Amino acid sequence: MKILLIEDDRDLNELLSIKFKNLGYELFSFFDLKNVKSCLDENDIDIMIVDRNITNKDSLDFIKSLREEAYNEPIIFLTAKTLQKDILEGFSVGCDDYITKPFNFDELLFRIKAVVKRHKKENSKVSFMNFLLDNESRQCFEDGKEIQISNLEFELLKCFFENKNTVLTRQFLSEMVWKSDSANDKTINIALTRLRNKIPKLKNHITSIRGMGYKIC
């Protein structure tokens, strides 16, 4: 499990870092909000543990901005702000759990595991119209009936379903589907043509945006 910790109390940060690392977790530790987004962009973080009082500022607005920018990593606030309005504010900006200080480390662990498990279950399926992709079984369904597709076609649909109404560049598709930046336009066009032909109901929804890429809408 990869944990991103934001805690400006250096003693508590160090203590939590030691405990998490001793349990075999990979930890990314920060004392302020600088470089947090870069860390999220470069690593598959499983959960964020965030103090609300960071260098005399409330991290509430920062978390709100992450959610608005589509960062969907689960977040637990770990904070001394204990009023009911504080807790409601935390959930209103998109946190998944709210733990007040002082806290029990074993309880924190249980809550981390519960939030991560729930998040993974919620994100194991992605849909578009009456189509559903199951990331665990790697199956595609239309109105509950399975459609046989290749692994490459599954990855293509996953990219589109997870980024609805968003233009996906050819480079993005190359990196996400072919796992390299070398897939040329012809390769991508052929794959999309085959996908459209295999699932005719999606043909008019996957559109080419001249000079930019493709999108599903």
Is residue 175 domain-shared with residue 146, that is, in the same domain? yes
Is residue 136 domain-shared with residue 74, that is, in the same domain? no
Is residue 81 domain-shared with residue 92, that is, in the same domain? yes
End-of-domain residue from the set 122, 149, 166: 122
Is residue 156 domain-shared with residue 68, that is, in the same domain? no
Quick one: pLDDT at residue 96? 94
Q: How many angstroms separate the CA atoms of 49 and 115, rounded?
A: 11
Q: With pLDDT > 90 as the criterion, what percentage of the chain qualifies?
A: 73
Q: How many angstroms separate the CA atoms of 44 and 105, rounded?
A: 24
Can you say how many angstroms the Cα of residue 160 is from the centroid of all Cα atoms in its chain?
15
Is residue 113 domain-shared with residue 195, that is, in the same domain? no
Ranges of the chain whose pLDDT falls below 50:
none
Is residue 22 domain-shared with residue 118, that is, in the same domain? yes
End-of-domain residue from the set 97, 122, 147: 122
End-of-domain residue from the set 122, 147, 163: 122
Residue 154, both tokens: 């599954």
Quick one: pLDDT at residue 116? 92
Is residue 102 domain-shared with residue 154, that is, in the same domain? no
Nearest residue to 199 (alpha-carbon basis) of 137, 134, 133, 136:
133
Scored b (16 or more CB within 10 A) or e, 185-216 reads eeebeebbeebeeebeebeebbeeeeeebbbb
Quick one: pLDDT at residue 180? 76
pTM of the predicted model over 0.85: no
Query: Per the structure, how many domains does the chain have?
Result: 2
Quick one: pLDDT at residue 216? 93
Secondary structure (DSSP) of 130-157: TEEEETTTTEEEETTEEE---HHHHHHH
Quick one: pLDDT at residue 42? 92
Provide the residue range defining the domain that includes 98: 2-122
Quick one: pLDDT at residue 57? 84
Residue 164, both tokens: 């609805």
Give the strand order in the sheet containing 168-169. Answer: 168-169, 213-216, 206-209
Is residue 193 domain-shared with residue 110, that is, in the same domain? no
Quick one: pLDDT at residue 138? 87
Quick one: pLDDT at residue 68? 86
Is residue 113 domain-shared with residue 143, that is, in the same domain? no
Is residue 31 domain-shared with residue 100, that is, in the same domain? yes
CATH number for the domain that contains residue 161 = 1.10.10.10
Phi, then psi, of 54 in degrees rounded to 5: -115, 115
Is residue 116 domain-shared with residue 11, that is, in the same domain? yes
